Structure 1
């Protein structure tokens, strides 16, 4: 394992511990979220040298069902080879995603004149709407334009549990999370249109949750949000900035900002039954 991937592995183990209890399941560690917010997952136990077998995955899945939390697993393929086969043997679907690291300075494109780009403040009155952007965006993965826009964002914001926004606000206040938003200044596409964040530990920052409302896509907003976050992370003293992309198509957005592919991030979840 390279020094870079070893450092990223330490990061992956550290970040969930801020808001989750870590359960030891031998070769796997299950992170169980305390309070409201995005649920966590199971990962390879930091420093475990042996293989992870299908029975290990099955045991953790049983515990996740017992806790009524998602049966989700995440890891880096090059760091834990063989876990993909074990997860598939345990009945999970494995998605392999490009993992990219910033190389040099982030490159920001020119934003449309009707877009304002800024870091998110904990006092921002649009906090719920900005958070809702991600819910709508990840309901329509990819980079293609679509119909969902501000109306769907506002409906999602109204449906958010108060605790979810409070959790994000607390992370912003603590500095555990830094977020950025691209807003439309006026017209049909007014308000928060694209949002993203980074979390950090041990001098490493991971950019997460970059999403654009489908109606506002193909305007360079995701690249701009990524670039401002990467710039902030570097200025804050982060030695490494990385991101995982849902697909090769999304990875190209990050590559335009200055990221390069170094590994493969894996996500395993139950197979959807049609």
Structure 2
């Protein structure tokens, strides 16, 4: 295939992944040219997205979905491959949502570079790992700091406080998901225990690296890149043929380029 054909094939694979992942734990409600995935049971709520890549979406279509989300009491969120459904970018803004366009990056097995972070041990977690709650708390502190990827004050004390507040049922769901293979988690540890964590979700041979979060006080040490490399290596070892991620911005994209990820397109995320 030519280079444009290869890129198109990759984007369509990612499109299929975004549609397949929520179907593992949610019901699909068709609302005009969009589909809303409603989680059944406990866990993070899912998003709405186009029913197929070539649809045209208007602001009114998005407002219809937001109205249904309000009825269900779930957060307003849409995700899609922007290269395949470009009309949605304007539609979500017309409906009053904030649009974020993120570099969509794919990793080829031959390009993978697993980096070391000095003084840090990175490993894939098993279901019985005693640090699972602390690792999960690292991500909560990282994403809740409100400072993006900047270095900050959040550290071990904040991690431990967050872990103490975690719902035990959530931790047990994580353990069950790891045991079944539905979830894969990795942790970065130093002499103070977990300082970062991340994972990947997978469907139909495609894995998306997600949720890499480092305690603000431990940033700028290459930990995020090291986690991404270990997770990608694990995904390929388990038989996934495509590994990708959405970088928060161009600066973050450059971090993952060190691991071997290359920009293939743009993902769209819309929230209030």
**TM-score, structure 2 normalization:** 0.93
1:98 to 87, 100, 103: 103
Q: Deviations over 1:191-248 (max 9, x none)?
A: 1111111111111111000110001111111111100111111112211110001111
1:240 to 242, 246, 251: 242
**Larger deviation: 211-220 or 132-141?**
132-141
- Do the aligned partners of residues 48 and 251 (structure 1) sit closer, same or farther apart at CA in structure 2, a change above 3 Å counting? closer
* 2:63 is the alignment partner of 1:61: no
Tell me, yes or no, if the aligned pair for 2:53 and 2:85 is still in contact at 8 Å.
Answer: no
Cross-structure match for 2:196:
194
Q: What runs of 5+ residues in structure 2 fail to find an aligned partner?
A: 1-6
Cross-structure match for 2:232:
230
Cross-structure match for 1:136:
141
- Do the aligned partners of residues 11 and 229 (structure 1) sit closer, same or farther apart at CA in structure 2, a change above 3 Å counting? same
Q: Deviations over 1:10-51 (max 9, x none)?
A: 111111111222111131111112222222111111x36431
Aligned residues: 264
* Alpha-carbon distance between aligned partners in 1 of 2:252 and 2:65, rounded to the nearest angstrom: 30
* Alpha-carbon distance between aligned partners in 2 of 1:221 and 1:48, rounded to the nearest angstrom: 35
* Alpha-carbon distance between aligned partners in 1 of 2:201 and 2:111, rounded to the nearest angstrom: 19
Q: Deviations over 1:111-132 (max 9, x none)?
A: 213x221111111111111111
Tell me, yes or no, if the aligned pair for 1:44 and 1:75 is still in contact at 8 Å.
Answer: yes
* 2:18 is the alignment partner of 1:12: yes
Which structure 2 residues correspond to residues 150-189 of structure 1 after superposition, within 5 A?
150-185=156-191
Tell me, yes or no, if the aligned pair for 2:15 and 2:53 is still in contact at 8 Å.
Answer: no
Q: What runs of 5+ residues in structure 1 fail to find an aligned partner?
A: none
Tell me, yes or no, if the aligned pair for 1:117 and 1:225 is still in contact at 8 Å.
Answer: yes
- The runs of at least 4 consecutive aligned structure 1 residues that moved more than 4 Å come to none
Cross-structure match for 1:77:
82
Q: Deviations over 1:137-178 (max 9, x none)?
A: 112353321110111111111112222222222211111111
Root-mean-square deviation (CA, aligned residues, Å) is 1.4
* 2:256 is the alignment partner of 1:254: yes
